Chains A and B, each alone.
Chain A
Amino acid sequence: MDAFTRLDAKIAPLPLANIDTDQIIPKQFLKTVEREGLAKGLFYDLRFDGEGKERPGFVLNRPEYKGAGVLVAGDNFGCGSSREHAPWALMDFGIRCVVSTSFADIFYNNCFQNGLLPVVLPAEQVQALMEEAKGGNHLVTVDLEAQTVLSPAGETFHFEIDPVRKEKMLKGLDAIGETLQMAADIDTYEMRRALDRPWLEDA
């Protein structure tokens, strides 16, 4: 997993609530057996019209937001399907951080598996960032170590994050490798389970 420490990037506003993972990456892009190359499907129906032509008004198509690394979006971002293709597509497109008032659980979790930082801020601050992101200057700094977002206008917003998740994100740790360090505990659990619930063993 990619580590995340500090990011200086453009922030793009997406002022819609309940942006679901079907919108982030529609299902026709899920038939891949790879993790890479999903940027082409990101927000496909928002970015392109029925003929596959770019919609010039969509924020990520506008030249001033080219190369944006941060998104600020409405409530409940990432609801819907568990597809990890959603964070993969965002990352592949170059987005490393999403700011919202709330995230759907599975999406939130998937972000941390991939080094995509979901930042939760109170509604007024998200609204303020949204407005600033629409303006001429839209450069932000996201500092995970300090747990801050420095807004284009120079305001600092502090965000909360689970310390364990923060640590892993900062280091880009491999969760499987870590869990496997506890293999002896898993062995013990399985032995006990086989005694307590033997019917699960002969299924």
Chain B
Amino acid sequence: MRPMPGKTLYDKIWDAHVVTLQDGEAILYIDLHLIHEVTTPQAFAGLRLAKRPVRRPDRTLAVADHNVPTEGQALGVGAVADEEARLQLQTLERNVKDYGIEFFPMGDVRNGIVHVVGPEQGRTQPGMTIVCGDSHTSTHGAFGALAHGIGTSEVEHVLATQTLRQTKAKNFRVNIEGEPIPGVGAKDFALAVIGAIGTAGGTGYVIEYAGSAVRALSMEGRMTLCNLTIEAGARAGLVAPDETTFAYLMGRPSAPKGGAWEMALSYWKGFSTDPDAQFDREITLDAAEIAPLVTWGTSPEDVIAVSDRVPAPEDFASPDKRASAVRALEYMGLDAGQPITEARVDVVFIGSCTNSRIEDLRAAAKVVEGRKVSPSVRAMVVPGSGLVRAQAEDEGLDEIFLAAGFEWREPGCSMCLAMNPDKVPPGQRCASTSNRNFEGRQGRAGRTHLMSPVMAAAAAIAGHITDVRDYL
């Protein structure tokens, strides 16, 4: 008899959560359901209509993040100026109350961006299945949890059944080996992967990140990497849990304690890919060859090194992609062949679930310290949660940013998607640590260049896109 081939990390998490099969689909048990104000109102409305309860309110956690203003949060939801945003926030408040779901309201120090809060509270744990009505749920894969975004109908399904109907994805392994050059980190790794495989390259797969450069990343770095997995088309990214993961989790409010911790630890240690497991696709990148990266266009795959020139439409093979490039150049106000460092920036945004954790802020503060924001730039730092903000203030990072001329704001999604008052004005150019450079994403007709926190910090000082290596 032939031995069974080994299993991947994804296979193992999947197998541990299949409740049963029905009509060729798996019914997958969900360990943690994160919810927020934007993608849930219609789901709760559906539940009410069908008179269905929430099956496991205790496995559900709610935050208010997308719509919240990033100042004056202490005034409460009643003071939110935008009427529709206020209604959505109030609807969430009512729903969590009616269904007995734990909620960190706006202004609570534990509130913040959903993908910052889950890990920070120790809710996100290895080997779990985690879903949220938000595509960047892939972030939680950094802990070796199978985590992905779902639509509102599926939110309703999970609320009602604590399960999700799924068909299994394929396995893709991305190895990043070696040591990066100074100034290059997880954000550049992620952009390099997207640049290499394209925004549809991961469609139909779950990506596991491996290799020495991934192992060397902190949890914050791994979260950045997994966060951007969705921009490569894969719903979920994974990093196998290890000592870095366990050290991060230990002592967090919802992490197991005492004997339960020991029990959990031995369970978690089983979640790694077997040496003889097969992947449907595999690529390897050399970390040392990755330069600080920026995007030039309106798709996250439009990536170039900061030392490069803006490409021309003729550089692309497919007619649709050429058409998209023409459109992107016009939208971005850039000329083919122009060095990207010539692009002057009007706004700098350091924040979002990609890069708003304490390590991101520390790295940016290091570049900023003792320097001044260019007078033509509006620069802002938006910590990912109230706790990140408090920690940064303990470390004096707020003073460094404020002294340089940055705004120091309250937590939320902020300028990542402009559903709240923080927006890039039309025609203005933004150096952003967020995850999407789509047309209008940061504000109608706003122009986004994605980059790492240190690159964004350097752009704020220089007043244009610039190589952070000159600022180290």
Interface residues of A (CB under 8 A from B): 15-18, 20, 22-23, 26-28, 30-35, 45, 50, 74-76, 79-84, 87, 102-106, 109-110, 113-114, 162-164, 167, 175-176, 178-183, 185-186, 189-190, 193, 196-200, 202-203
User: Interface size class for chain B?
Assistant: 35 or more
Task: Tell me whether A17 and B321 are in contact (CB under 8 A).
Answer: yes
The residue of chain A having its C-beta at the shortest distance from the C-beta of B299 within the complex is A18
Q: Which residues of chain B come closer than 8 Å to A178, judged between CB atoms?
A: 22-23
Q: Decide yes or no: A102 and B200 within 8 Å by CB, A23-B439, A175-B165, A180-B161 being known contacts.
A: yes
A163→B24 contact, CB < 8 A: yes
Inter-chain CA distance A197–B213, complex, in Å, is 32
With contacts A84-B153, A199-B256 taken as known, whether A182 is within 8 angstroms of B22 at the C-beta atoms is: yes
Instruction: Determine if A164 and B25 form an interchain contact, defined as CB atoms under 8 angstroms apart.
Output: yes
Q: Which of B84-92, B342-350, B355-363, B456-464 lies at the interface?
A: B84-92
In whole Å, how far is B131's beta carbon from the nearest beta carbon of chain A?
10
Complex interface: chain B residues within 8 A of A80 (CB):
135, 436, 438
Q: With contacts A33-B91, A179-B163 known, what are 8 further pairs, Cβ within 8 A? A: A20-B438, A26-B440, A27-B441, A74-B320, A82-B135, A82-B149, A106-B151, A193-B29
Give the distance in Å from the alpha carbon of A53 to the alpha carbon of B328 in the complex. Answer: 22
> B341 on the interface (CB 8 Å rule)?
no
Contacts of B24 on A, CB cut-off 8 Å?
162-164
Q: How far is the CB of B61 from chain A (nearest CB, A)?
A: 10
Q: Which residues of A contact B88 (CB under 8 A)?
A: 31, 33
- The residues of B with any CB-CB pair to A shorter than 8 Å are 19-20, 22-25, 27, 29, 31, 38-39, 41-42, 45, 50, 52, 55, 58-59, 67, 82, 84-85, 87-88, 91, 123, 133-135, 148-154, 156-157, 160-163, 165, 167, 169, 199-200, 203-204, 230, 233-235, 254, 256, 260-261, 263-264, 267, 299, 301, 318-321, 323-324, 327, 417-419, 426, 436, 438-441, 444-445
Chain A contacts of B22 at CB under 8 A? 178-179, 181-182
Contact A50 B165 (CB under 8 A): no
* Cβ B233 vs Cβ A76 within 8 A: yes
CB-defined A-B contacts under 8 Å, sample of 15: A16-B320, A20-B438, A22-B438, A27-B417, A27-B418, A33-B41, A50-B426, A82-B135, A83-B38, A103-B203, A105-B235, A106-B230, A162-B24, A176-B52, A189-B19
